[in-house]
Structure 1
Amino acid sequence: MISGMVSGWVSGKRVLIVGGGIGGMAAAIRFAEQGGQVTLIDIDPQWRVYGAGITITGPTLRAYRRLGLLDAIKEQGAIAEGATIFRYDGTRLHDLDEPALEEGLPATGGIMRPVLHRIMQTRVRALPIAIRLGLTVRALAHRDDGGVDVTFTDGAQADFDLVVGADSIYSGVRRLAFPHMGEAQPTGQGCWRLSIRRPPTLTKGEFYFGHRVPAGINRCGAEMVYLWMLTPHVHRAQHFTDEELFVQLRDNLADFGGNAGWVRDHMTRDDWINYRPLAAALQPGPWHDGAIVLLGDAVHATTPHMACGAGMAVESALVLAEELDRADTVGAGLAAYQARRFDRCRHVIDTSIKVGRMQLDGDSPDAIGAAIGAGLHRLAEEY
């Protein structure tokens, strides 16, 4: 669908997007471009996002190109031609096999998550999209005409032709409207993230395997990188303090060489560090009930092993808008959306969980790299 063209079911319809994250903004942008009367709501009154950088693989870059945001990402992030796999001590093993998807499309890249959100927020604000912050939905009820009556948490009510739940792994829309679904399940790993200045010799992404805890570094700006590390998750009664985060991550990196060792030796308490346990779920169908539908982490939450969570959310938003725009009825469009997305999302989640288990079991760097490469090759296929 070319930006600015108006046709099909979406044009003139009242669309509510619940959740102002990556998937919700992507859906809002495309529905507005198709002539929908879009309202976007987010629970955070300041519409903020926290976090370090994120890796953007070829499939994700392709989705952002189709959303019209690739140039801004290239300008404000960092683009690289592939990544390299190292043994944890810094010994170079081989390049990661990452397929080229389209002419002129970089193989991979990275960007700071707040920067990516600002890029998307700028596009949302440039379109005729009503933005309401500091609230979410309290109740949803189907209308006789096929629409949805919505009660917001501030007590206001409105009706919409379509409600899209893109409100995170903890989706309130899912809990309200889809009782056959459940919560994402822990995978047994936790993810550490650190934002820090770029090591002088780092030019592209690096993976460090062969240790009980795998790690990697990716550029996310001209002079910024983020380091990630995956460890077996041990339940704690309390969150790590800032000091505990610093000391534990530095200790986790004790055996590492190469640029991972450089990060250990140069990290400071002023660098941003975060830890969270990982969980994943591919929710069973149907993903839609009447004119209510889910996308992104609300319905296909994955772990970071394939670096495709953002890409899957943007792809789902594009497919949802495309199928609704070619459909005669909302039901037909939503069914076609699920049919196109289910197996692809299952592949990402299953592969990510498999790689995580291989890491927990201490599999070889070659085996883990091959599993990631095979997964990325399948994602090179059109969605």
Structure 2
Amino acid sequence: MTGKAISSIATALVVGGGIGGMACAISLAERGVAVELIDLDPDWRVYGAGITITGPTLRAYRELGLLDEIKQFGAVTNRTRLFKYDGSHMLDLDEPALEEGIPANGGIMRPVLHRLMQSKVRALNIPVRLGITVSALDDNGTGVDVRFSDDSTGRFDLVVGADSVFSGVRDLAFPHMKPAEPTGQGCWRISIRKPPELDSAEFFLGHAHPCGITVCAPDMIYMWMLTPHVERESFMSDEEMFETLKELLADFGGSAGWIRDNMSKDDWINYRPLSAALQPRDWFNGRVVLLGDAVHATTPHLASGAGMAVESAIVLAQELASTDDVPAALLAYQERRFDRCRDVIETSVAVGALQLQNGDPSIHATMLGDALHRLSNPF
């Protein structure tokens, strides 16, 4: 990343070492801010299968200087193919090429992406403290006194809460906000070797349980499937998740059918209920500000949750560099991000509602295509 140095703040604490938090720490550090990053996980791990990376998200990662690494260690394609659930081809999604050098879409295994970002954090000599979070924040207008969960303290010119949909920073400093709301859907994911004929992203529509496949490496993919969420009294065992997903795929043809017939109990399978929230303004309180899932949590329907977090991190750094007036910079950040994040969340939730109604797959395709065109606009 290149850009004007930040003179409005000298120090910053970033709470949360996920995609949004790391993107924020990188963006601020590269503009001259002394950043400290903390994460509650003592091992700074990440769980999950692959992650779909749209063209707009790849553009944001280029701003962080990570596009070449994502291309090297992930997979990029230039189309998404839409099928009916039985495997019959519907159309290829009209995905705009943003600019030369940025593929239409791609994917990467989530642990690989985190390792790439962690390496960038370390290369910038950003101090990382693990196994702690914040327990108290005292903002006096010129800085924030922080008490950490290990009873240590610190003072920072800015505190950024990028600590997930369950944000503790949000709970401490933003009483007007509420937890994300369930959408009524759950998401299944499986990581598995690539079907032999697969060469692009694929969606399978027209079924009560739509699914999609993202290529994440030369020989690996992950598949997601969305189903109505039913509350359970206990967690599913690995055996139960395997058998349930196999049954859910019973009607599917094409690559989805191949996955059903070739999946094994050694493949990573996960299920989680979905929730979403666009938190009301203001996204900042004094010198405490939120980004990522802490303030604009979305569902995976547009594959844009990570992209929105990275964009927000970049915009926050840009606005802090544009003025020495910190409140004005935080307001400008909020106003640049609010409507774009709202579009992603509202469209994603609307697509999910259509799926719950087993709606017309052509409407689904149009909603996806239109949203991707809007997201191609500069952030």
Output the TM-score relative to the length of structure 2: 0.99
Three-state SS of the structure 1 residue aligned to 2:127 is strand
1:327 CA drift (Å)? 1.6
Select which of 297, 304, 309 maps to 1:308: 304
Three-state SS of the structure 1 residue aligned to 2:235 is coil
Kindly provide the amino acid, as one letter, of the partner of residue 328 in structure 1. Answer: D
Matched, 1:17 2:14: yes
Q: In the TM superposition, what are the counterparts of 1:73-222 in structure 2 within 5 Å?
A: 73-143=70-140, 146-222=142-218
- RMSD over equivalenced CA pairs, Å: 0.9
Three-state SS of the structure 2 residue aligned to 1:368 is helix
1:304 CA drift (Å)? 0.1
Three-state SS of the structure 2 residue aligned to 1:243 is helix
Three-state SS of the structure 1 residue aligned to 2:217 is coil
Three-state SS of the structure 2 residue aligned to 1:135 is coil
Select which of 7, 23, 26 maps to 2:23: 26
Q: What do the CA deviations read for 1:44-87 (whole angstroms, capped 9, x no partner)?
A: 01100000001000110000011110000000000001110000
Distance 2:127 2:11 in 1: 11
* Residue 378 (structure 1) aligns with: 374
Distance 1:302 1:7, change over 3 A: closer
Q: Is the 8 Å Cα contact of residues 6 and 320 (structure 2) preserved in structure 1?
A: no
Q: What do the CA deviations read for 1:329-381 (whole angstroms, capped 9, x no partner)?
A: 11011000000000000000000000001111111111101101111110011
Structure 1 runs not aligned, ≥5 long: none
Matched, 1:364 2:363: no
Select which of 298, 319, 327 maps to 1:331: 327
Q: Is the 8 Å Cα contact of residues 38 and 128 (structure 1) preserved in structure 2?
A: no
Q: In the TM superposition, what are the counterparts of 1:281-300 in structure 2 within 5 Å?
A: 281-300=277-296
* Residue 66 (structure 1) aligns with: 63
Three-state SS of the structure 1 residue aligned to 2:8 is coil
Three-state SS of the structure 2 residue aligned to 1:362 is coil
1:178 CA drift (Å)? 0.2
* Residue 40 (structure 1) aligns with: 37
Q: What do the CA deviations read for 1:66-109 (whole angstroms, capped 9, x no partner)?
A: 11100000000000011100000000110011111111110000
Kindly provide the amino acid, as one letter, of the partner of residue 127 in structure 1. Answer: L
Output the TM-score relative to the length of structure 1: 0.98
Kindly provide the amino acid, as one letter, of the partner of residue 17 in structure 2. Answer: G
Three-state SS of the structure 1 residue aligned to 2:178 is coil
Distance 1:96 1:360 in 2: 22
Aligned-residue identity in percent:
63
- How many residue pairs were aligned? 379
Q: In the TM superposition, what are the counterparts of 1:211-360 in structure 2 within 5 Å?
A: 211-360=207-356
Structure 2 runs not aligned, ≥5 long: none
1:237 CA drift (Å)? 1.2
Distance 2:157 2:281 in 1: 21
Distance 1:128 1:291 in 2: 24
1:191 CA drift (Å)? 0.1
Q: Is the 8 Å Cα contact of residues 6 and 33 (structure 2) preserved in structure 1?
A: no
* Residue 2 (structure 1) aligns with: 2
Q: Is the 8 Å Cα contact of residues 26 and 318 (structure 1) preserved in structure 2?
A: yes
1:7 CA drift (Å)? 4.3
